[in-house]
Chain A
Amino acid sequence: MNRNSKSYNAAVIASLVILLLIGIFLSISIGSTRIPLSEIISAMRQGNNTSKAYRIVSYVRIPRTLAAVLAGCALSVAGAILQAVLNNSLAGPSIIGVNSGAGFFAVLITAFFPASLYYTTVAAFIGALIAVLLVYFIARKTGASRMAIVLAGVAVSSFIGAMTDTVLILKPNTAVERIAFLIGGLSGVTIDRLSFASCFIVFSLVISILLSYDMNLLALGDESAKSLGLNVTRIRFIFLILASMLAGSAISFAGLLGFVGLIVPHISRFLVGYDNRILLPVSALIGSIFTLLCDLLARILFAPFEIPVGIIMSFLGAPFFIHLLIKGRRGQLYD
């Protein structure tokens, strides 16, 4: 089968959907209490609030599974967008400061307005947007090379990290509450909190896929894309906002999950190539599967103890990032 053919892409998507469904089932079934499929189905059918299985599934496992699916898909698509828009295969929400920007604003609102739970998503979104625009602006001033963007990201992340630390020191209670958030984890996510963020995620995802062909043109370079009639500045700005909405929303309930936004677009490109029309949906699916898998590992590796999913992601992500750097040094990086 030709790697770029429609049938190949359809086969990839179908396989990923099957893997995702398996992942969802395992995520609902496996945990400190193992619930077999038959029990899940009968508990959900009866809808009996007093049943242990029903309560575990509907109040713990389903929100957690949905959170993994949404966070993974949002962060991966945000990563794929940032890599395409900034023309930098090392860009990802955590690398270019989106995560720390969103995290800082989320910490800020928790510290000063603890009652405003719903505003966390909006705050995280604004934080992500500010960070991404800051990095973009600095990188543009210095020629927007790949290294300039990564370095600008490091600088902005450090600065925001210092501000986050300041808030945490001034408000020590927040520090205790936000450790899980800073590491990134999915335990304790509620449907209420998810529903708000999921609106942002679904909306941004749909718009991103609709505009994905325009994103393809950016790979030709700004001048060629402009001469083809694309409003480059506008489309780049729209995608930066979409990436910030995706990353900010995911971070608002999942915390600072590292590396998923960096790794998944690379795996997706390896599978389906550079056409964003297929790359974005595939990144969304792989991101969800990857996050579900990491969350499962986080739950079962040291059972009955649980470690935050962010730690597992960093364990897997950091070596992959180093692998990319070495590959890039040999001149083999994808672009």
Chain B
Amino acid sequence: MIKLENVTAGYNNVEVIKNINIDFEESSITSIIGKNGCGKTTLLKTASNLLKPFSGKITIRGEDVLSISNKELAKKISYLPQHRPVPNITVYNLVMHGRYPYLGFSRTPRKKDKEIVEMAIEHMGLNNYINKNILELSGGERQKAYIAMILAQDTDIIFLDEPTTFLDINHQLEILEIIKNLKTMRKTIVMVLHDLNSALRCSDKVCLLEKGEIVICDTPQAVFESGIINEVFKIYSKQVLIGDGTGKQYEDTKQYVFYLK
């Protein structure tokens, strides 16, 4: 789907990620994990073409991203940053911004754009907030409004930078359910997650980064069993099964706990 070949990138001539080779598969969830400052966000920004790589090639279904115009690329890739200013606008207007790549010169939304925006708001359960100002929403509701904007952007590939950070546990779990639901809509999701338990539980693939390089990128079970997480984070980890013992809820109740060495 979206492929990075020998990509090296960073800021002010300082390499942050080095020689990255990865192929994010279609309709899958990939979580990027790693210690602070290992280059997770840089990888996300580079893959979404917000940061031009020093070297290497990024392709979407074989097409070089450099040959795609900004607006056309915005119809294929969406990106939700972790840190962003909160605009003083209504939920409806925020979600309508997601339609920007599809608007003509007059920037007037058509009937179809309005329908898509309304559907996205409904999908996120924000109907009651449609005319509310983003500033008045709680962190969790705000995050849902931004995801509604991403939905309205209607891209196949979605990059999310720490979508659950700073949210209470209820909203964290709700946002993760929403992300899993995006996969059923045939979206390719790549996200940076700090919460290793969530990353291992929700993803099809987990990529572990250390000092700007991919150490392992595999299924959560394989990554966990490799023990590399323990080495990189200098921790112990355990897989715990929570359930009634019948094994019926095995997949749903697999949890990971981590503790200091």
Q: Please list the residues of chain A having a beta carbon within 8 angstroms of any beta carbon in chain B.
A: 2, 4, 87, 213-214, 216-217, 219-221, 223-224, 226-231, 273-275, 334-335
Q: Please list the residues of chain B having a beta carbon within 8 angstroms of any beta carbon in chain A.
A: 45, 48, 50, 70-75, 77-81, 83-85, 87-90, 93-94, 97-98, 100-101, 103, 107, 131, 153
- Do A228 and B100 touch (CB < 8 A)? yes
- Do B74 and A220 touch (CB < 8 A)? no
Chain B residues with CB under 8 Å of A231's CB are 70
Closest CB in chain A relative to B152 CB, distance in Å: 10
Q: Tell me the complex Cα distance, A213–B48, Å.
A: 23
Chain B residues with CB under 8 Å of A2's CB are 131
Closest CB in chain A relative to B240 CB, distance in Å: 37
Closest CB in chain A relative to B201 CB, distance in Å: 27
Q: Tell me the complex Cα distance, A281–B73, Å.
A: 32
Q: Which of B72, B79, B88 contacts A334 (CB 8 A)?
A: B88
Q: Which of A4, A216, A217, A224 contacts B84 (CB 8 A)?
A: A224
- Do B84 and A229 touch (CB < 8 A)? no
Chain B residues with CB under 8 Å of A220's CB are 84-85, 87, 94, 97
Given A214-B107, A221-B81, 4 more contacts at CB 8 Å? A219-B88, A224-B81, A228-B98, A334-B88
Top 7 A-B pairs ranked by shortest CB distance?
Answer: A229-B74, A227-B79, A213-B107, A219-B87, A229-B71, A221-B84, A229-B101
Chain B residues with CB under 8 Å of A228's CB are 74, 97-98, 100-101, 153
Q: Tell me the complex Cα distance, A224–B153, Å.
A: 12
Chain B residues with CB under 8 Å of A224's CB are 79-81, 84
Closest CB in chain B relative to A331 CB, distance in Å: 12
Chain A residues with CB under 8 Å of B100's CB are 217, 228-230
Chain B minimum-CB-distance residue to A219: B87
- Do B89 and A274 touch (CB < 8 A)? yes
Chain A minimum-CB-distance residue to B93: A275
Chain B residues with CB under 8 Å of A230's CB are 70, 100
- Do A226 and B107 touch (CB < 8 A)? no
Chain A minimum-CB-distance residue to B85: A221
- Do B85 and A227 touch (CB < 8 A)? no
Chain A residues with CB under 8 Å of B83's CB are 221
Q: Tell me the complex Cα distance, A220–B89, Å.
A: 10
Q: Tell me the complex Cα distance, A275–B87, Å.
A: 10
- Do B88 and A273 touch (CB < 8 A)? yes
Chain B minimum-CB-distance residue to A335: B88
Q: Tell me the complex Cα distance, A216–B98, Å.
A: 12
| Cβ contacts A to B, 17 pairs, < 8 Å | A213-B107, A216-B89, A216-B97, A219-B87, A220-B85, A220-B87, A220-B97, A221-B84, A223-B45, A223-B79, A223-B84, A224-B79, A228-B100, A229-B71, A229-B72, A274-B89, A335-B85
- Do B87 and A227 touch (CB < 8 A)? no
Closest CB in chain B relative to A75 CB, distance in Å: 23
Chain B residues with CB under 8 Å of A219's CB are 85, 87-89
Q: Tell me the complex Cα distance, A224–B161, Å.
A: 12
Q: Tell me the complex Cα distance, A24–B73, Å.
A: 49
Chain B residues with CB under 8 Å of A335's CB are 85, 88
Q: Tell me the complex Cα distance, A217–B131, Å.
A: 18
Chain B residues with CB under 8 Å of A221's CB are 81, 83-85
Chain A residues with CB under 8 Å of B77's CB are 227
Q: Which of B78, B88, B93, B131 contacts A227 (CB 8 A)?
A: B78
Interface centre among A87, A216, A223, A334 (most CB of B within 10 A): A223
Closest CB in chain B relative to A232 CB, distance in Å: 10
Chain B residues with CB under 8 Å of A213's CB are 103, 107
Q: Tell me the complex Cα distance, A214–B79, Å.
A: 18
